[in-house]
Amino acid sequence: MFLVLLACVPQLARAFMGRTPILNVLYNTNILLELVILILFFRDSYSTKKRNMLFIVLATVCVVSGVVSVFLFGFYAKFLTEWLCVNNLMYTAWTLILLYDLYDNDEKLSELAPSLLCYLSGLFLYSSCTMLIFSFWYYIMTKRDSYLNNLWIIHDLFNIFMYLIFSFGFFIEIKARHLTRKNGI
């Protein structure tokens, strides 16, 4: 839930302030905080040492990519889309590894909260599909008359799908808690 609220800040700022330099700071801060939240979300999710090690390696790639991006471009000068694309690639990998882990582990699958599948699906759809769009960020921003500007429609749709799927997950989780309290379990 915190991730959803966090992502609202730069989006609302862009809507009210337009494209100002402070947006770079907000978007880059969002990339960093999103990474921290998702590392905390995924860190204890895998059932084997090999998958945990793979998660650690991929998380390290995200951190190193962020440090290199900040070192090369600064935190304020530009929106660090390179770092965002690397992170989205890693989030996609983490999700796929976790889904494989669930598939491979019947006991873990039987204990799975349905809301987790919603969160994983929303994250997977958004991060995998928007990675390409953000890789063209600077080209799209400089070529306003390009057909590639239509990619923002795809981005917006996947953003909407992600939040709808997250909302469905929140609904499922709240409903399950309500039923648990009602039945005294």
Q: Which range has highest mean pLDDT (95-99, 129-133, 151-155)? A: 95-99
Q: List the one residue out of 55, 52, 59, 64 whose CA is nearest residue 36.
A: 59
List, as own/partner pairs, every contact residues 72-76 make where C-beta atoms lie below 8 angstroms and the sequence separation is at least 24, other chains included.
75/24, 75/25, 75/28, 76/21, 76/24, 76/25, 76/28
The answer to whether residue 55 scores a pLDDT higher than 90 is yes
101-135 tens-digit pLDDT? 988 887 777 777 888 899 999 999 999 988 888 98
Tokens read off for 159: 């953003």
Domain range for 7 is: 2-183
pLDDT of residue 14: 64
How many domains does the chain divide into? 1
